[in-house]
Amino acid sequence: MVTFAEAGAAKDLDAVEDMLADDVVFISPVAHKPYPGKGITISILRAVVEVFEDFTYIREIHDDREHAYVFTATVDGLSLTGCDFLTLDEDGKIVEFMVMVRPLKGAQALAAAMGDRFADIQASAIAWAQEHGQG
């Protein structure tokens, strides 16, 4: 079985999708409100893969059901460091996916790039929900 870090590094979003609980909540580094649900979470992650250049996990910290994956990436020529904080349920599925990014200019570049794609992200989430009988 592939780990989250391996799937993320390989940009294997199908494997990541399988790791998400249906009721996962995505907490963005650039949006105030959390995004509940597997459809919107995987749609956001698929868009992020397009936005991040040179994405690399550089550190992993974990205990039983809490994991932190520190990464580096480039967005629009700006280097950033971030961390994916994952909380797992009793079945090992991701129920909370929180991302933090620094420095501010990197977070702003990420916000702009994701904002440009957000209509497509929402459409993808709706299509995902319909395809999976949730829409």
Residues 110-127, mean pLDDT to the nearest whole number: 95
Q: What percent of the chain has pLDDT over 70?
A: 99
Per-residue buried b or exposed e for 60-90, using 16+ beta carbons within 10 Å of the residue's own CB: eeeeeeebebebbbebeeeebebbbebbbee
- pLDDT reported for residue 2: 83
- pLDDT reported for residue 135: 64
Count CB atoms within 10 A of the CB of residue 24: 23
- pLDDT reported for residue 133: 85
Q: Map out the domains of the chain as residue ranges.
A: 4-127
Domain 4-127 has CATH 3.40.50.150: no
Q: Per residue in 63-112, pLDDT tens?
A: 999 999 999 999 999 999 999 999 999 999 999 999 999 999 999 999 99
Residue 34 has pLDDT above 90, yes or no: yes
- pLDDT reported for residue 43: 97
Residue 27 has pLDDT above 80, yes or no: yes
CA atoms of 28 and 125, how far apart (whole Å): 16
Residue 121 has pLDDT above 70, yes or no: yes
The β-bridge partners of 18 are none
Residue pair 71/56 in contact (Cβ under 8 Å)? The answer is: yes
Residue pair 36/44 in contact (Cβ under 8 Å)? The answer is: no
CA atoms of 13 and 133, how far apart (whole Å): 20
